Structures are given as C-alpha cells and as structure tokens.
C-alpha cells in the first residue's frame, strides 16, 4: 500500500471540491484531492453560473437587491425550516466569491433572472467563445480553478476514488483510496478531510430509498456518472448525522438529450396542462418556475402532467415567438415546431403526440377521454370570455384548443440531482447525531445542501452552483484554520 501525507484531503473535485481546494491551499496548507473521474469539475461542467447578491456587477447596473433582503426572501420561502446561520453565511459570502473568481480570470456577463418575477442573482459565466442557445458555460471556470489549485501546490489524483475515511478516537486521520488504473491501494494521512462528492443522482437505489421516487418510472433526473452517494455513506460511517434528503426537483418530457430545446420550449409555455384524468391542476403561468411545476406534477396520477396546444397556437409561436423564453438568458429560433416533434417521435421519444382529434389524442396519451373533453370545453369557454374561472391565468395566455391538429407532451418530475445527506453547521463542520463536531471532518456542496426546504428557490437563481462554490470556500477556509490551530 502506497502512503502519502497532506494537511487536508478533499474527497472529489467538482465545483465545491475545487473551491475547497483552492481556498484551503490559499491558507498555506498542503492539499491532496482524490477524484474518481478522469476530469475535474464534475456536474459543474454542465452549469451556467452562480448566485450572488451585492456583487460588483449588480452594483454597477443599479440592481438593488441587498443581502438582507435576499436572506429574508430565502428564509420566508423555506418557512424557516432550514439552517438560518448556514443560509446567512452563504449569502453574505456570495459577492466576495464573485470577486475571488474574477481575480483568477473568470469573467461574467450581466446578471440574469431565470423567469419573470425572479431576481437578477444569476451570474452567468462568460465562455471562451460566443454563446449558443442554452449552453453550459462553467467549463472555463472549472479549468481556471483547476489551474489555480495546481499553481498553489495542490495535488489532484484523478481516477482514484476514496473508499473510507480514517479515524483515531474521535478525530479524522485521513482516507483510504484506490488507483482505478493500477488497482493499487493508497493511504493518505491528513489532519482534516473535506467531503464534496456531489450527492447520489446516479444511484437509483438511494433515490428510491431516501426520496421515494423511482428513476425511469416517475422520475427522470440527470444522472451524472459517478454520483453514487459515496461521500454521504463514508461520512455516516465516520459518525456524521444524516440531514434532510430530497431531490432538486424540476420537470420535463423524458428524452431532452434527443429532442432538444425547440421541442422543450414549446412544451414550457402557459398552455393547457391536464393530468391523466383529464383535469387541470395548476395555473399554467407557473410553468417557468420549474420546481413549482415539478411539485404540482408529482401530486398527479402516475406523477404525470400532459401539456396540450393546437395548430393555431403552434403557428402563433412560429410567427411571433414563444410567450415565455426558455430562460431570460438563452433562447432558440422558433421554426418548424411540428417537424422537430416528428423528428423526436421518429427517434423514439414516446411521450410526444400529434393527433387530429381530442379522442385520438386521449387514446394516444392515455388520458381519460371524457375528462379531457369536459376540461377542453370548459377551458375554451374561459378563453372566449377572456377570464380563467378556475386558476385566474392571465387572459393573454388564454388560447382555445380547437385544432385541427393537437400536440401534446407528457411531463414527469425531473431533478438536477440529490440534495442533502450530511449534517453540517454554518462553518461546514460535520456534526454527529448528538450535534457534536466530528473533529477534522468538513463537507460541502450537494452532499450537505438541505437549505432549500422542500423546493429549490428559483426565485433566487444560481443557487446550485452558488452553494457549491461558497460552501466549498467556507469548508476550505475553516479546515485550513483547524489544521493550523493544531501546530
């Protein structure tokens, strides 16, 4: 067994792990990072930008949201069922983190909102080239953080997963790992360990056990390879208490990687949405708030919601564009929607439908035909009056469902990944079941993210990456302080 030493071991090298590594190394300690994958960044490579409040970019654009207002908004949203000290530490650090990243060379474009009514807290990372529709832009930041970590002397061991956290008495003493390429076991002695393994979004068994969703049946979430909950399991084995666990819920039609953003955009509009009984169950204006829509769909029969529009609405979109953009940052050209739907259906997407009558649509989509007919008749009366008598949807979105063709997509809950698992305090110190610190053990990112309550707060967009970056920085700073206090 090969043996190495460091002051701090970081378990995994995603966004939170990179932030922890850089901040710890900036504190003057020796850091070794173990990453099971072949590259750094993890799920962060798919990201767009972090949350921040009172940043330089917001100040120069006279965006007036303050840290105190954001904190109050966040806590009201979660009904104070989350760790207020951790939320406050995260929000208060967020603007400084933007400055921290900019000093390394990360560039940002104008802060954005995700949907009308949300706040302009999303700091979009400027990519090396130009934007493309709905493009992930964080890859450049991942490279900059990786290079910065190496420049500071941190050692990054790829394809070397950690298997166990080591303790002597109640103190953390290092980790056991294994080189996947050679099979060689490796023991790293350290004074502190930071866990940042990104949750268990690639582990259907854990998803079922801890959230109740069944991947591929009533949940179609992102599965980033390797996110198996390793860090959560090892933390529990080392004495960590479990925190609240749920999925970072959104919604969608399964198969987005095949059908693309034009089809996705056409079925994220404020059009008629029914369940399999044929009943409306939400004000479709809410559709751009993806966690709220995911919540609403998750309550329906088979956790399914079917969005329907007709040919007249399709032609309206092709002429005038979508009512709601895919987000307030990215958009796509709106042309030949029917062709895009047909191509997706030909490629095997089973939850898209084109029909020449409501009866045919009900049969194809598995909707109760009587319920659907009654709902469409009622909805069309609302459209004719210009007043939604059920959910009071804005009259500008009230378009009747008359045909001659009908288009539908079956939506199910999705998720960006899992949230929570390891209980921490506002210093990201891991806590035991009796609320005592596990000396030398820290955790950050999705493994610890129980600050959203039951729904991701899309009113303050950028929180997924923002929490990863800021909790990682907090963990790195506090772990390096802990190590230096032991000298």
Q: Mean pLDDT across the chain, nearest whole number?
A: 95
- The arithmetic mean of pLDDT across residues 339-362, rounded, is 97
- The arithmetic mean of pLDDT across residues 363-387, rounded, is 98
Give the CA distances from residue 484 to residues 191, 442, 471, 478, 479, in Å, rounded to whole numbers and listed in that order.
10, 15, 20, 10, 9
Please tell us whether the domain made up of 249-414 is placed in CATH 3.30.70.920. Answer: no
- Asked if 306 contacts 364 with a C-beta cutoff of 8 angstroms, the reply is no
Nearby residues of 60 by Cβ (< 8 Å), 6 or more positions away = none
- Asked if 97 contacts 22 with a C-beta cutoff of 8 angstroms, the reply is no
Query: Three-state SS for 10?
Result: strand
User: Could you give the residue ranges of the DSSP H alpha helices within 245-289?
Assistant: 256-266
The Cα–Cα gap between 122 and 119 comes to 8
Band (133; pLDDT cuts 50, 70, 90): very low
pLDDT cut 70: percent of the chain above it: 97
Query: Three-state SS for 142?
Result: helix
The Cα–Cα gap between 378 and 470 comes to 49
Band (256; pLDDT cuts 50, 70, 90): confident
In the beta sheet, which residues pair with residue 18?
A: none
pTM given for the model: 0.94
Please tell us whether the domain made up of 2-203+218-245+420-485 is placed in CATH 3.50.50.60. Answer: yes
E strand or H helix that includes residue 48: none
- Using the 8-state DSSP alphabet, how is residue 178 labeled? E
Query: Three-state SS for 67?
Result: helix
State pLDDT tens for residues 440-467.
Answer: 999 999 999 999 999 999 999 999 999 9
- The arithmetic mean of pLDDT across residues 298-327, rounded, is 94
- Asked if 324 contacts 268 with a C-beta cutoff of 8 angstroms, the reply is yes
Band (402; pLDDT cuts 50, 70, 90): very high
The Cα–Cα gap between 104 and 89 comes to 22
The Cα–Cα gap between 9 and 89 comes to 23
Band (127; pLDDT cuts 50, 70, 90): confident
- The residue ranges of every structural domain in the chain are 2-203+218-245+420-485, 249-414
* Exposure string over 416-446, b if 16+ CB within 10 A, otherwise e: bbbbbbbbbebbbbbbeeeeebbbbbbbbbb
pLDDT above 80 for 132: no
Lowest mean pLDDT across 45-59, 119-133, 143-157, 261-275:
119-133
Our CA angle for 63, 139, 59, nearest 5°, is 15
The Cα–Cα gap between 32 and 153 comes to 9
pLDDT above 80 for 258: yes
State pLDDT tens for residues 203-228.
Answer: 999 999 999 999 999 999 999 999 99
- Asked if 122 contacts 461 with a C-beta cutoff of 8 angstroms, the reply is yes
Give the CA distances from residue 63 to residues 56, 57, 67, 73, 209, in Å, rounded to whole numbers and listed in that order.
10, 9, 12, 16, 43
Beta-sheet strands, E only, within 133-216: 155-157, 162-168, 171-178, 185-189, 192-195
E strand or H helix that includes residue 4: strand 2-5
pLDDT for the residue 134: 45
- Asked if 60 contacts 180 with a C-beta cutoff of 8 angstroms, the reply is no
- Asked if 252 contacts 414 with a C-beta cutoff of 8 angstroms, the reply is yes
Band (486; pLDDT cuts 50, 70, 90): confident
Band (302; pLDDT cuts 50, 70, 90): very high
E strand or H helix that includes residue 355: strand 352-355
* Exposure string over 203-239, b if 16+ CB within 10 A, otherwise e: bbebbeebbebebeeebbbbbbebbbbbbbbbbeebb
- The arithmetic mean of pLDDT across residues 284-307, rounded, is 97
pLDDT above 70 for 131: no
pLDDT for the residue 128: 66
State pLDDT tens for residues 149-198.
Answer: 999 999 999 999 999 999 999 999 999 999 999 999 999 999 999 999 99
pLDDT above 80 for 317: yes
E strand or H helix that includes residue 437: strand 437-443
pLDDT for the residue 170: 92
């Amino acid at each position: 067994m090969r043996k190495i030493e460091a002051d701090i071991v970081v378990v995994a090298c995603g966004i939170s792990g990179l932030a922890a590594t850089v901040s710890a190394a900036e504190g003057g300690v020796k850091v070794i990072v173990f990453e099971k994958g072949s590259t750094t960044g993890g799920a962060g490579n798919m990201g767009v930008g972090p949350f921040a409040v009172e940043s330089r970019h917001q100040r120069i654009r006279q965006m007036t949201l303050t840290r105190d207002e954001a904190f109050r908004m966040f806590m009201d949203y979660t009904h104070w069922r989350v760790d207020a000290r951790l939320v406050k530490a995260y929000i208060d650090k967020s603007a400084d983190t933007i400055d921290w990243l900019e000093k390394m060379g990360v560039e940002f474009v104008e802060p954005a909102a995700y949907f009308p009514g949300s706040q302009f807290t999303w700091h979009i990372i400027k990519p090396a080239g130009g934007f493309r529709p709905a493009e992930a832009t964080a890859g450049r930041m991942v490279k900059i953080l990786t290079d910065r970590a190496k420049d500071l002397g941190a050692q990054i061991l790829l394809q070397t997963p950690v298997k166990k956290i080591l303790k002597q008495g109640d103190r953390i003493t290092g980790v056991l790992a294994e080189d996947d390429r050679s099979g060689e076991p490796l023991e790293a002695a350290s004074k502190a360990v930071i866990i940042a393994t990104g949750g268990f979004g690639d582990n259907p068994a854990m998803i079922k056990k801890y959230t109740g969703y069944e991947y591929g049946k009533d949940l179609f979430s992102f599965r980033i390879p390797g996110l198996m909950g390793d860090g959560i399991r090892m933390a529990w084995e080392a004495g960590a208490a479990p925190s609240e666990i749920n999925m970072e819920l959104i919604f969608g039609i399964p198969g987005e990687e095949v059908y693309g953003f034009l089809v996705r955009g056409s079925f994220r509009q404020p059009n008629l949405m029914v369940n399999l009984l044929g009943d409306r169950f939400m004000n479709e204006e809410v559709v751009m708030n993806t966690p709220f829509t995911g919540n609403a769909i998750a309550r329906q029969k088979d956790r399914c919601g079917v969005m329907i529009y007709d040919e007249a609405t399709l032609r309206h979109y092709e002429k005038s564009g979508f009512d709601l953009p895919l987000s307030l940052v990215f958009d796509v050209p709106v042309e030949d929607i029917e062709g895009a739907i047909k191509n997706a259906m030909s490629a095997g997407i089973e939850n898209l439908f084109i029909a020449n009558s409501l009866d045919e649509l009900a049969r194809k989509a598995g909707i109760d035909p009587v319920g659907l007919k009654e709902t469409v008749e009622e909805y069309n009366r609302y459209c004719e009056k210009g007043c939604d008598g059920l959910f009071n949807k804005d009259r500008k979105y009230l378009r009747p469902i008359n045909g001659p063709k009908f288009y539908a997509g079956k939506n199910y809950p999705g998720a960006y990944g899992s949230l929570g698992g390891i209980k921490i305090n506002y210093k990201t110190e891991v806590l035991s079941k009796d609320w005592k610190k596990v000396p030398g053990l820290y955790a950050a990112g999705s493994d610890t993210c129980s600050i959203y309550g039951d729904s991701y707060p899309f009113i303050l967009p950028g929180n997924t990456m923002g929490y990863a970056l800021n909790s990682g920085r907090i963990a790195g700073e506090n772990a390096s302080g802990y190590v230096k206090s032991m000298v």
